[in-house]
Amino acid sequence: MLEKIRETAAYIMKATARRPETAIILGTGLGRLADEIEERQEIAYKDIPHFPVSTVEGHSGKLIFGKLGGKEIMAMQGRFHYYEGYSMKEVTYPVRVMRELGIKTLFVSNASGGTNPDFEIGDLMIITDHINLFPEHPLRGKNIDYGPRFPDMSEAYSKDLIARAKAIAAELGITVREGVYLGTQGPTFETPSEYRMFHRLGADAVGMSTVPEVIVANHCGIKVFGISIVTDLGVDGKIVEVTHEEVQKAADAAQPKMTAIMRELIRRA
């Protein structure tokens, strides 16, 4: 495993002279932040040894190196979801490669269903914590000594970055929510009873990604900041049919606000 990760990292370091310390993983319908990356250099996933290849609609599958907010960054356009059939090792493989590349901070975005009755479609939720309900743990198996066997998760999302993001949102006049993201395997959206259960469990929003990558990032000592875009509501009385197209549309509409916060946070980091 470690040997493969190092081969992948070596390939990337040969393909580009860029050495960013910040990485971004863009979620469904949220690829536009990547369009703002300047002096860009792209590497298609399919050309990278041992890298999984992304299949789901709305994800184009490449690493983008360049500048955002004046800082060197790398962005993953397209992530690997457990529901696509990838193992948890594959889903989180890129994060381990990031660790080898010297990444110190990871920014993640995703689309989610809001279970908090105060939420509206299009809301931005700063992720303050998560609940892992994936059926397989990404750190199951032999421990890679990037981190301890039993990693601490008391601050999975950096409090410092959350505070700074809130200040930036206030300055820019962007309303943000805060809350707990619950990660589940999908690919079904939730039944009304499941949304209700997840809310009772402490979730403000539910989605099918992010949690595995964030766990592995924490294990590797990479700091995390995450924003979720509420693209539909799993709230009693407000539940309507959900489609992937609607999720993408709602995410797309909320993108500029998310992009503004992320860009500014990266600029000041």
- How many angstroms separate the CA atoms of 250 and 245, rounded? 9
Secondary structure of residue 168 in the 3-state scheme: helix
DSSP tag of 214 = H
Query: Which CA distances in Å does 5 have to 52, 98, 105, 175?
Result: 12, 9, 19, 39
Site mask, ligand HPA, residues 203-242, x = CB under 6 A?
---xxx----------------------xx-x-------x
Q: Does 111 bind ligand HPA (CB under 6 A)?
A: yes
| 85 neighbors 4 (Cβ within 8 angstroms) | no
User: If we measure between CA atoms, which residue out of 3, 5, 258, 216 comes closest to residue 112?
Assistant: 258
Q: Does 124 bind ligand HPA (CB under 6 A)?
A: no
Q: Does 112 bind ligand HPA (CB under 6 A)?
A: yes
Comparing CB distances to ligand HPA, the nearer of 192 and 256 is: 192
Centroid of chain to Cα 93: 14
DSSP tag of 183 = E
* Smallest separation (angstroms) from ligand HPA to the CB of 17: 37
* Smallest separation (angstroms) from ligand HPA to the CB of 65: 28
Looking at residues 169 to 208 of the shown chain, list those that interact with ligand HPA (rule: CB under 6 A): 189-190, 206-208
* Smallest separation (angstroms) from ligand HPA to the CB of 231: 5
Comparing CB distances to ligand HPA, the nearer of 168 and 247 is: 247
Comparing CB distances to ligand HPA, the nearer of 65 and 189 is: 189
User: If we measure between CA atoms, which residue out of 176, 229, 179, 184 comes closest to residue 211?
Assistant: 184
Applying CB under 6 A, the residues found at the interface with ligand HPA are 111-113, 189-190, 206-208, 231-232, 234, 242, 247
